[in-house]
Amino acid sequence: GAGVSQTPSNKVTEKGKYVELRCDPISGHTALYWYRQSLGQGPEFLIYFQGTGAADDSGLPNDRFFAVRPEGSVSTLKIQRTERGDSAVYLCASSLTSAGRDNEQFFGPGTRLTVL
């Protein structure tokens, strides 16, 4: 079956620009997570959705970052006024439900964002 997909796979933008990153979770998965991974580091949590609502956005670094999931499926991570420090791989994951005991998460291939 289809896994988590993310588009674009690579995004190069200029400092100060606005970008949108898209995530398509596994069909039927109600929980969706965004992580950010800098070079040589493990992924760090940004935000997660249970259904349409953001259940925990404590990992968003500042108010330039925002994410939506209006219909409880596809999610878009939005970054305003990009800075060079935003350059990283942005990973999306989904799980059947966030309430499950194990909460096994399945990851997409990521979007590599480069801010020049």
Partner 1 sequence: SQQGEEDPQALSIQEGENATMNCSYKTSINNLQWYRQNSGRGLVHLILIRSNEREKHSGRLRVTLDTSKKSSSLLITASRAADTASYFCAMLISSGSARQLTFGSGTQLTVLP
Which residues contribute to the site for partner 1 (CB under 8 A)?
A: 31, 33, 35, 37, 39-45, 48, 50, 55-56, 59, 89, 91, 93, 98-99, 101-110, 112
d(CA 73, CA 27): 8
Q: Beta-carbon neighbour count of residue 95 at 10 Å?
A: 21
d(CA 10, CA 76): 15
Contacts of 3 (CB under 8 A, 6+ apart): 26, 106, 108
Which residue, 40 or 70, has its beta carbon nearer to partner 1?
40
Instruction: Kindly state the smallest distance separating residue 28's Cβ from partner 1, in Å.
Output: 17
Instruction: Kindly state the smallest distance separating residue 48's Cβ from partner 1, in Å.
Output: 6
Instruction: Kindly state the smallest distance separating residue 42's Cβ from partner 1, in Å.
Output: 3
Which residue, 77 or 81, has its beta carbon nearer to partner 1?
77
Residue 3 CA, distance from chain mean position: 15
Which residue, 31 or 67, has its beta carbon nearer to partner 1?
31
